[in-house]
């Protein structure tokens, strides 16, 4: 399973997605061009103080990503057809999220093997990109039995 971001606009969201991927042991793929300069240094900066950002793979274009991406493309979109909790994820799924400003173009919508929407309260438009990615990835990992195990000793005690 992997998390893919299509031409992200906001570097802080990329940083949060990199941290999400590192924490949940899931590679993050970035499909360029981005709405900000992207270099290996910028990726490290976007990941903030998290240190090793985990596995981040850059693709110079949609075509390059499609040639390299294994598995079924599951697009998270507000134009989705299947509610998140009714969708059956598979371990090799590619969870794809669009630009913060405009989602994905029609050719990407058409290329998706499945479309998923995260249900919201009436009158609400959408979650932040990284919040959506965390919700979607968590559900996909839970369904496929790949959610990281909890180890109490990894967390400091609090009084």
Q: Average pLDDT of the chain?
A: 88
Q: Kindly report the CATH number assigned to the domain that includes residue 45.
A: 3.40.1280.10
Q: 124 lies in a domain?
A: yes
How many domains does the chain divide into?
1
Q: 158 lies in a domain?
A: no
Q: How far apart (Å, rounded) are the C-alpha atoms in residues 21 and 135? A: 12
Q: 157 lies in a domain?
A: no
For 98-145, the pLDDT digits (tens) are 998 899 999 999 999 999 999 999 988 888 999 999 999 999 999 999
Q: 159 lies in a domain?
A: no
In the DSSP assignment, the letter for residue 149 is P
For 8-35, the pLDDT digits (tens) are 998 888 888 998 998 899 999 999 998 8
Section 31-54 average pLDDT: 71
pLDDT score of 53: 64
Q: 152 lies in a domain?
A: no
Tokens of 30: 């970035």
pLDDT score of 51: 53
Q: How far apart (Å, rounded) are the C-alpha atoms in residues 104 and 108? A: 6
Q: 155 lies in a domain?
A: no
Q: 153 lies in a domain?
A: no
Tokens of 148: 């990281």
Beta bridge partners of 75: 96, 115
Tokens of 109: 């919508």
Q: Provide the domain limits for residue 64.
A: 2-147
SS3 state of residue 58: strand
């Amino acid at each position: 399973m992997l998390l893919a971001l299509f031409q992200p606009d906001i570097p802080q969201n990329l940083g949060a997605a990199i941290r999400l991927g590192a924490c949940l042991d899931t590679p993050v793929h970035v499909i360029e061009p981005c709405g900000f300069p992207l270099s290996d240094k910028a990726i490290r900066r976007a990941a903030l103080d998290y240190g090793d950002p985990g596995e981040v793979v850059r693709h110079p274009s949609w075509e390059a990503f499609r040639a390299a991406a294994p598995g079924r493309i599951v697009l998270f979109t507000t134009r989705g057809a299947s509610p998140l909790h009714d969708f059956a994820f598979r371990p090799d799924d590619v969870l794809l999220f669009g630009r913060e400003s405009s989602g994905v173009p029609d050719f990407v919508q058409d290329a998706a093997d499945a479309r998923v929407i995260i249900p919201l309260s009436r009158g609400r438009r959408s979650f932040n990109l990284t919040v959506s990615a965390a919700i979607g990835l968590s559900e996909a990992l839970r369904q496929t039995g790949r959610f990281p195990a909890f180890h109490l000793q990894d967390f400091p005690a609090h009084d």
